[in-house]
Structure 1
Amino acid sequence: MPTTRETILAALHTRLSALSATVLRGDVLPERVPAAGLLILRDGEPGDPEVTLSPLRYHYQHRAEIEVIVQGASRDTAFDSLCANIGAALAADRTLGGLCDWVEAEAPQPVDLPVDGAASLKAAVIPVVLHYSTADPLG
């Protein structure tokens, strides 16, 4: 049976997979970026939980990361559109079907990355904070 953390990350991956971009989880950057863009979900860090007693609960603010990568002549527009679509997908269900208390993305800091012999990439990491509680830090 998957842990609470894995269940939430899988639900986030599923939510992102509904977008037009190719969505990977924990993979390396492929040689080619698809025309619709590429998202790579990184598991991130759960951080130190706040703990409440009676009943014992661990309250996390887990910081996952979504790497957003686009390439091509209209990369600025494609990047902006893809980021807006990520925001809309998260806003549509801030609890990921009741698995989280709250899901919130932070603003990206885009960079242009030159590629020898090809159009440059526009990329950013979007931190996503997943607020959830569990009875066991390993469960």
Structure 2
Amino acid sequence: MTDAPRLNAPRLDAPRLNRQVCFALYSASKAATAVYRPMLDELGLTYPQYLVMLVLWEDQPRSVRELGEELGLDSGTLSPLLKRLESLGLVERRRSAEDERRVEVFLTDAGTALSARSNGIPKQLADAAGLSPAELDQLRETLGRLTAALHSAR
């Protein structure tokens, strides 16, 4: 009899899932979003809506274009998010007085008030992650460098 290769034998030269950076990033992203979900449910926000609100809590008004650039979202994705936030009474979109082609996004009083209710979210995520503030800072910096490098490699 000849020795036939086993069909299910692992190839020694094959990439391993647990050694792939892409899978580690994907898994971490899913896990972080799952931890965020109950916290954001209390605020009545989805994760992408929360990101929009974070940008506006930092500085407003922001144009739709600025929001898209900061969040890496195209208008086809951002417009429905803003429409939903507007229907929730959290933001208001207005045409710019200087340039009617420019749409600016403002927080409403309710949107501003929501900021105070969200203050504990970063600490809750940090506690769930089990990492020190220094480790989280290092991770964020490393991911920022990775993102910038991958954007420039396109």
Same-fold call, TM cutoff 0.5: no
TM-score (norm 1): 0.37
Which has the larger strand fraction?
A: 1
Report the structure number with the largest CA radius of gyration: 2
TM-score (norm 2): 0.34
Which has the larger helix fraction?
A: 2
Taking CA–CA contacts closer than 8 Å with sequence separation of 6 or more, which of the two structures ends up with the larger relative contact order?
A: 1
